[in-house]
Structure 1
Amino acid sequence: MSDNQAGSHQGNAGGNDPEAVRIPRRTPMACQFCRGRKLKCDGRTTCANCERRNIPCIYVPVSDQPK
């Protein structure tokens, strides 16, 4: 290994890279459409998936759904 390669690994050890410590956030609840299609829901009032398809974005708590 050359000195240049070893030095590049030390640069990330400082922890200054914001991408390395980014923790993904979970949406507390997915809308009915995203839940049915198993899509990633962003949790907004009208999520991006429903907005793109121009359909109503409805949130129903899991405990209120029929089995």
Structure 2
Amino acid sequence: MRSIPEYDLDAATWHRSSYSGGDGGNCLEVTHDFPTVVPVRDSKTPHGPALIFPASVWAAFVNAVRI
């Protein structure tokens, strides 16, 4: 069985999209502090869980939804 690596997200620098409004609505935050993965979290629950995507998968997603 493969082990899942752990990432220290407490010290990460999180970024919110420039398209997010300042009203505190539904926003995602990402951190680029890790070279091979991109953690993503809900801005309303910053101490809650984060989804961690391989960097290549996140890049493909961003490219697909880019307007």
TM-score interval for Structure 1 and Structure 2 normalised by the shorter chain:
under 0.3
Report the TM-score when normalising by structure 1: 0.23
More strand by share: 2
Larger RCO (alpha carbons 8 Å, 6+ apart) = 1
Greater gyration radius: 1
Report the TM-score when normalising by structure 2: 0.23
